[in-house]
A and B are shown apart, each in its own frame.
Chain A
Amino acid sequence: MGNKQTIFTAEQLDAYQDCTFFTRKEILRLFYRYRDLAPQLVPLDYTDKPDVTLPYELIGSMPELKDNPFRQRIAEVFSADGDGNMTLDDFLDMFSVLSEMAPRDLKAYYAFKIYDFNNDDYICKSDLAKTVNKLTRNELTPEEVRLVCEKVIYEADADNDGKLSLEDFQRMIVRAPDFL
């Protein structure tokens, strides 16, 4: 039914449908969005799996991400090389997790990675300080930031090691229904 596209093989589309939360049409629409960022770099034929990576500057200029204070971290977390340069696979992965169909614990897992600026699998005080500054546009004084970080760690840290692990974070998310 409508198998007229020539960008992907049927098996590739099936694989994408199984691995993301998107339907066939949405995957194709996302491909066109990806291509629109750099039409000269992205070929129209993905059947032979070309190795195309778009630099972070193009990804960060998308209207959905442009105003998000965490766009750089989001791109870094989902990119394969950790620098924010994304292939089509990373691109689809990112939007799949950010979509409304992804379950909350999957989003919580990635949110933890986004907030973990130094990639050490723990949210320590410096990570929290960077998060607070991004959320408040650097309007708080360093002293206030320090106090906020201490409060957060005091409240959420269950095993008292001075930083938040993934389990602490997930426990906090379960209690907070406003998390999106």
Chain B
Amino acid sequence: MSEDSDREAYKLPPTRTPHSDRITSVPNPVDLIQTAFSYVVDAPITFVREWIERQQAKNKFYYYHQKFRRVPDLSECLEGDYLCYFEAEAQWRRDRLVDQQIVEIIRERVGACKHREGPNHFQNCAKEMELLAQVTKAYQDRYGDLGVHGNARTCLMKQKHRMMEERKAQASESQ
């Protein structure tokens, strides 16, 4: 759904193919195949695509990502105020979608890092994997076992239980 705007994560390192000195007079068949491909397949398709883009460039129009205003949370709603509940619920669902996309982006970054590093990914991707572990744990803590019928109210109750557990752990620690 969304693309990672940080393309730095996907930049491959520069290739280190050495320049070859030819000692035979036999022409490289790979060159022939490449020129044949570029004439038969590449050039017509590029020509058609560029023609289409010239037609489309005559009247350009844009689309935007909608920015929603923040509304009072479910914890700030009075009891029985169903309109406040509705708006808080809608905001919670939007926030959950955003969080899902965040986790997805971090996962893609880890995948790209693994592909880039090859056999060294255990060492070189440690930061990305640590970040993924933290983000997934945070997502699981907040939205984890709410199930398919999870809504803002059940999420708030889960948060309340988490805070109670924390308080109990702190109290037992301080004793």
Answer yes or no: do A and B interact. Answer: no
Task: List residues of A whose CB falls within 8 A of some B CB.
Answer: none
